[in-house]
Amino acid sequence: MSSLMNEAKELMKLWGWFRPARVLLTANNYRIFDHLEKQLSAKDLSKKLKTDLRATEILLDALSGMGVLKKNKNIYSNAPLASKFLVSGKPHYQGDIIRHADNLWQNWSGLDEVMKTGKPYRKAHDHKSFILGMHNLASLKAKDVIKSVGIKGVKTALDLGGGPGTYSIEMARHGVHITLFDRPETVDIAMDVTGKAGMKNIDFMTGDFLYDDIGKGYDLIFASQILHSCSEKESKNLLKKCRKALNKNGRLVIQEFYLEKDRAHPVNSSLFSVNMLVNTPGGRGYSLHEMKKWLLKTGFRKIKEKLMGDTVLIQAVKL
């Protein structure tokens, strides 16, 4: 192949990535993977799903090419990746976050308009798939994250913007008394998720953490993936509020996607900023450098960070 073609292939990869994503989102919407735990022909599957046979066959072939399905003599079934992550009810299920991604897809389609207005283009939102999607993601790592946070000696903790309560559950398992603070519509879901996990030592507080009281007397405040939905000014105010709510020697631990000082790398994090541009009036990803600077200015000390895959944990102490 010519070197020109090879170079252009790099570009094609960038613009062509939407294709496998769209195919996966549609397959997830039709819950194809729930059906393909058993082997089925395209004809049998299209009957079950009440879909067009030609469309079903083309989609299944693409999914097989992508390695999500196996195809054997025109019979399809889940490949190990689908079987582990895409079948409802499995412990590592990721279908809710993929449904949430389908809503994001609609919103990202307004990016051209956002470039002119600077305002969010939030046409699609399904709160349940967003919050359960957070649970899908956090379930993959909550144990490791809470181990790194270190909760020895912590008696009371606030899970600020705690979402579905995945991290609350992990901390509560170690006997910490948790207060999960979030919006009322989220807390409804969190009560269900934490209730199913059998956790009794979790209290709930509802409100807007930017304007409402978040309580006080905490040894630890865990603020996971919330600053990016706030503007810079809101983030700084929230840090002040957290400092007030902590006990002496209490710790604030922030979890955010790791972003370098250039705010461009790693690319997943700068793309995540685009997500916040499209979905919020003032949010974006903040670099580790920015957040550490804010913490120091707010009066926190002993600031330490730890990289955990694509996120960073930043710990700061109220002396």
Ligand X SMILES: C[S@@+](CC[C@H](N)C(=O)[O-])C[C@H]1O[C@@H](n2cnc3c(N)ncnc32)[C@H](O)[C@@H]1O
283 binds ligand X (CB under 6 A): no
- List the interface residues with ligand X, window 112-131 (CB under 6 A): 131
Site membership for ligand X, residue 161 (CB under 6 A)? yes
Beta carbon of residue 262, minimum distance to ligand X (angstroms, whole number): 24
Binding flag, residue 258, ligand X (CB under 6 A): no
Classify residue 167 by burial, with Cβ atoms within 10 Å: 0-12, 13-18, 19+. Answer: buried
272 binding ligand X? (CB under 6 A)? no
Stretch that binds ligand X, among 39-47, 77-85, 146-154, 204-212 (CB under 6 A): 204-212
162 binds ligand X per the rule CB under 6 A:
yes
State which residue, 46 or 156, has the beta carbon closest to ligand X. Answer: 156
Contact between 133 and ligand X (CB under 6 A)? no
- Give the residue with the Cβ less far from ligand X, 76 or 209: 209
Residue 205 near ligand X by CB under 6 A: no
Q: How far is the CB of 256 from ligand X (least distance, A)?
A: 10
Instruction: Note whether 285 binds ligand X by CB under 6 A.
Output: no
Instruction: For 218-234, give the DSSP string.
Output: EEEEEEES-GGGS-HHH
- 168 interacts with ligand X by CB under 6 A: no
- C-alpha distance from residue 145 to each of 54, 149, 164, 172, 306 (Å): 45, 6, 16, 14, 10
- Check residue 203 for interaction with ligand X (CB under 6 A): no
Q: Is 314 in the site for ligand X (CB under 6 A)?
A: no
Which residues are at the interface with ligand X (CB under 6 A)?
131, 134, 138, 161-163, 166, 182-183, 186, 208-210, 224-226, 229
